[in-house]
Amino acid sequence: MRATEPGRIDAAFRGSLGNFTLDAELGVPASGITAIFGPSGCGKTTVARCIAGLQRMADGFCAIDGDIWQDRHLFRPVHRRPIGYVFQEASLFPHLSVRGNLLFGAPRAADGQIAFDEVAELLGLAALLDRSPHRLSGGERQRVAIGRALLSQPKLLLMDEPLAALDRTTKNEILPFLERLHDRLSLPVFYISHDMTEIERVADHLVLMERGRVIGAGPLHTFQNDPALPRTGIGGRHGDYSSRQNSVGRATRKTSMPIEFNDIDPNRVAAILYGPQDDVDSLLADFAQDLVRSGERIGGVVQRNVKDGGGCQVGMQAIDLMTGAEISICQPLGRGAMACKLDAAGLAEAAVAVTRAIAANIDLIVINKFSKQEAAGEGLRDELAAAIAAGIPVLTAVPEKCLDAWTDFSGGIGTSLLCERDVIAGWWQDLSSRIKRAREARRPSDAPAALLADHHVG
């Protein structure tokens, strides 16, 4: 039996979820804010779900301040674990006011350690208590979600990328409130993020994760000051601490996929399955370029056959969807035959096109194919992984013969689409509508009334 002690949080979880393997062990003080940091897919959210009791590993241990929640003989269900959980999306009850949302999970007894008035004051919610959630900005909604979690009187607060759905300006507005909570409340907090600028502002302790493992843990200042510790990106913006270096003509290494299912919305990844009889290049190029012409913010790379006047293929071209520029990818193999894969120069240009689209945080990234090159760890494999990990909707095409490789690469997440225009358009119409509704719900409270009319309750 593992030893436990008051004043500590000790946890260890080992097991597999599909193709993802978790083997994580950590021990931190049961006080202050402990940040769990690492790239998307490293297992941060899975650890949080295991601590909360939402995910059960056959080999698991969890003790909070001397109180055992899980070991070989015990598994305390989630409803008996005194935790508050804050997710990326606030998920407020639309029919309740701010006050009603705050009090929803609060115990009926009035002797809680965290008082309603204190939470309203700390989070700047006193003037919003009678307001409908639909009249709140994104930052205000997330502050209500944090307050609701606090008023459940937890022994531990789990915050899973609580600012990830907010823009940089709104993040900067909400971070001072998190700093106030840190200064005023003694509640231990796990703060999950891949953004080091957030962590450096609020955290006392740091747990580093990569590929399902904890690779370092300790006081935050130790990681900031010790150059011998693993390179973490501290001092930069994001948690990409891989050693990847791309150069023209050099095959890229395989990425650390599969992506962790809990970190990625599976509806945002779609693969068109096609066979030898399907002209998927023209289908995908026509679909993407029609979206661009209609004003949609689309990026990435599509490929199109080039034919002569008689309809015979005489070449191929790739197109950067953001700039409209042509990327030459053709290498003559003989009369009337051309290579269909990206050469070294074309690969570099295509990689830049996808990377530019990721940085612009556009609405949809299209990557022409996941084919033999990507299955072998080459081509645009890394760029495709980066787009998925960024949470941006991704559309690609996968030949039937590469389906197993695609499943291994993606961890089985995402939607499979028939190679038909109506099917692809239906997927994008449904997904883009839901994304737009979510954005509307996060409009600032001082937005013009006409913009809020469709979302007003009461």
Model confidence, pTM: 0.53
Asked whether residue 135 is assigned to any structural domain, the reply reads no
CATH of the domain at 383: 3.40.50.300
391 and 294 fall within a common domain: yes
221 and 269 fall within a common domain: no
Residue 330 has pLDDT above 90, yes or no: no
CA–CA gap between residue 312 and residue 188 (Å, rounded) = 68
Asked whether residue 249 is assigned to any structural domain, the reply reads no
42 and 159 fall within a common domain: yes
Structure tokens of 261? 């299912």
378 and 282 fall within a common domain: yes
66 and 184 fall within a common domain: yes
Q: What is the pLDDT of residue 314?
A: 66
CA–CA gap between residue 458 and residue 273 (Å, rounded) = 46
State which of 225, 257, 277 marks the end of a domain: 225
CA–CA gap between residue 38 and residue 44 (Å, rounded) = 7
Asked whether residue 452 is assigned to any structural domain, the reply reads no
Do the Cβ atoms of 313 and 336 come closer than 8 Å? yes
Give the number of C-alpha atoms closer than 13 A to the C-alpha of residue 348, restricted to the C-beta side.
Answer: 8
292 and 176 fall within a common domain: no
Asked whether residue 142 is assigned to any structural domain, the reply reads no
206 and 277 fall within a common domain: no
Using one digit for the tens of pLDDT, what is the confidence trace for 190-242? 999 888 888 888 899 999 988 899 988 889 887 766 544 444 444 433 344 33
Asked whether residue 96 is assigned to any structural domain, the reply reads no
Q: What is the rounded average pLDDT of the residues 348-360? A: 85
The total of structural domains in the chain comes to 2
Which range (55-59, 219-223, 230-234, 253-257) has the least confidence? 253-257
Domain, as residue range, for 412: 265-419
Phi then psi dihedrals of residue 394, to 5 deg: -130, 135
Asked whether residue 104 is assigned to any structural domain, the reply reads no
Using one digit for the tens of pLDDT, what is the confidence trace for 124-159? 899 999 999 999 988 899 999 999 999 989 999 999
213 and 318 fall within a common domain: no
Residues in contact with 322: Cβ distance below 8 Å, sequence separation at least 6, in sequence order: 298, 299, 300, 353, 356, 357, 360, 362
Asked whether residue 103 is assigned to any structural domain, the reply reads no
Q: What is the pLDDT of residue 447?
A: 45
Q: What is the pLDDT of residue 343?
A: 66
- The amino acid at residue 161 is E
Q: What is the rounded average pLDDT of the residues 60-76? A: 93
For 203-213, letters b (16+ CB in 10 Å) and e give bbbbbbbbbbe
Using one digit for the tens of pLDDT, what is the confidence trace for 368-424? 889 888 888 888 888 888 888 888 899 999 998 998 888 888 877 778 888 889 889
- Taking CA atoms, 109 is separated from 6, 114, 145, 187, in Å, by 26, 12, 21, 19
Q: Own/partner pairs for 312-321, CB < 8 Å, 24+ apart?
A: 312/336, 313/338, 314/338, 316/281, 316/340, 318/342, 318/346, 318/349, 318/350, 318/368, 319/285, 319/289, 320/349, 320/350, 320/353, 321/288, 321/289, 321/292, 321/353, 321/357, 321/366
Q: What is the pLDDT of residue 224?
A: 64
Q: What is the rounded average pLDDT of the residues 293-302? A: 92
Residue 298 has pLDDT above 80, yes or no: yes
221 and 292 fall within a common domain: no
Asked whether residue 414 is assigned to any structural domain, the reply reads yes
Q: What is the pLDDT of residue 225?
A: 61
State which of 177, 198, 225 marks the end of a domain: 225
Residue 25, beta-bridge partner list: 12
Q: Closest Cα partner for 187 from 148, 153, 236, 143?
A: 153
Which range (218-222, 294-298, 340-344) has the least confidence? 340-344
312 and 373 fall within a common domain: yes
Q: What is the pLDDT of residue 372?
A: 87
pLDDT band at 302 (very low <50, low <70, confident <90, very high): very high
323 and 199 fall within a common domain: no
For 152-178, letters b (16+ CB in 10 Å) and e give bbbbbbbbbbbbbbbeeebbebbbebb
Whether the bond between 258 and the residue before it is cis, its omega within 30 degrees of 0, is yes
331 and 413 fall within a common domain: yes
